[in-house]
Amino acid sequence: MGGKANHGDIDFLVSEPISRKGDNEKLEDFVGRELQARAMFRNSAMTSYAIPHPTLPDICIQLDTQLCDPPHHSWMYFTTSYGDLVPILGSIHHKFGLIINDKGFWVQLDLPKNANMCGIPREKMVVFLTIEPEKMLEFLGLDGARYQQGFTSEEEIFAWIRGGRFFRPISKRCGESATYGPESETPNADSVGAKSPTSETATPKRRMLTSFANDSHNHPATPLSKSSPGDVALEAVTFFGKRQEYDTALQYCLSEVQEFEFWKQVRSGLSGNSSRKARVIRSLKKWVVLDDGNPSIGQEPVENSVVAQGSGAERTERLAWIKEHWEEAYEKEKRVAEEASEKRKQPQSK
Please tell me the least confidently modeled range out of 165-169, 174-178, 186-190: 186-190
Average pLDDT over residues 174-186: 35
Residue (of 89, 172, 72) closest to 128 by Cα position: 72
Q: 49 with 84, same domain?
A: no
Check whether 201 has a pLDDT greater than 80: no
Is position 257 within any domain?
no
Cα separation of 94 and 215, whole Å?
Answer: 19
Is position 332 within any domain?
yes
The residue out of 67, 101, 116 marking a domain boundary is 67
Instruction: Decide: 253 and 260 in contact? Cβ < 8 Å.
Output: no
Check whether 342 has a pLDDT greater than 90: no
Q: 54 with 101, same domain?
A: no
Beta strands in 226-343 (DSSP E): 288-291, 294-297
Q: 114 with 190, same domain?
A: yes
| DSSP 3-state of 72 | helix
* Predicted local distance difference test score (pLDDT) of residue 215: 94
- Its domain, for residue 134, covers 75-242
Q: 137 with 82, same domain?
A: yes
Q: Could you tell me the pLDDT band of residue 5, with boundaries at 50, 70 and 90?
A: low
Beta strands in 116-221 (DSSP E): 126-130
Is position 170 within any domain?
yes
DSSP code of 166? T
Domain count, the chain: 3
Q: What one-letter code names the amino acid at 205?
A: K
Q: 94 with 236, same domain?
A: yes
Instruction: Decide: 117 and 260 in contact? Cβ < 8 Å.
Output: yes
HSE-CB at 224 with a 13 A cutoff on CA atoms is: 16
Average pLDDT over residues 200-221: 78
Q: 19 with 134, same domain?
A: no
Is position 249 within any domain?
no
Is position 261 within any domain?
no
Q: 83 with 201, same domain?
A: yes
Q: 80 with 186, same domain?
A: yes
Q: 42 with 96, same domain?
A: no
Check whether 227 has a pLDDT greater than 80: yes
Is position 3 within any domain?
no
* Predicted local distance difference test score (pLDDT) of residue 176: 41
Q: What's the length of the chain?
A: 350
Check whether 199 has a pLDDT greater than 90: no
Q: What one-letter code names the amino acid at 88?
A: I
* Predicted local distance difference test score (pLDDT) of residue 120: 94
User: What residues have CB less than 8 Å from 40, skipping those under 6 apart?
Assistant: 28, 29, 32, 47, 48, 49, 50
Average pLDDT over residues 290-316: 93
Average pLDDT over residues 190-215: 56
The residue out of 242, 261, 294 marking a domain boundary is 242
Model pLDDT for residues 243-264, shown as the tens digit of each residue = 999 999 999 999 999 999 999 9
Cα separation of 40 and 196, whole Å?
Answer: 33
Model pLDDT for residues 270-287, shown as the tens digit of each residue = 988 999 999 999 999 999
* Predicted local distance difference test score (pLDDT) of residue 7: 56
Model pLDDT for residues 9-23, shown as the tens digit of each residue = 666 776 766 665 556
Q: 160 with 226, same domain?
A: yes
Specify the pTM.
0.78
User: What residues have CB less than 8 Å from 334, skipping those under 6 apart?
Assistant: none
Is position 286 within any domain?
yes
User: What residues have CB less than 8 Å from 300, skipping those under 6 apart?
Assistant: none
The residue out of 242, 258, 285 marking a domain boundary is 242
* Predicted local distance difference test score (pLDDT) of residue 256: 95
Q: 211 with 112, same domain?
A: yes
Question: Across all residues in the chain, what is the average pLDDT?
Answer: 85
Instruction: Decide: 94 and 188 in contact? Cβ < 8 Å.
Output: yes
Is position 335 within any domain?
yes
**Which residue would you say has higher pLDDT here, 307 or 204?**
307
Q: 32 with 115, same domain?
A: no
* Predicted local distance difference test score (pLDDT) of residue 10: 67
* Predicted local distance difference test score (pLDDT) of residue 147: 96
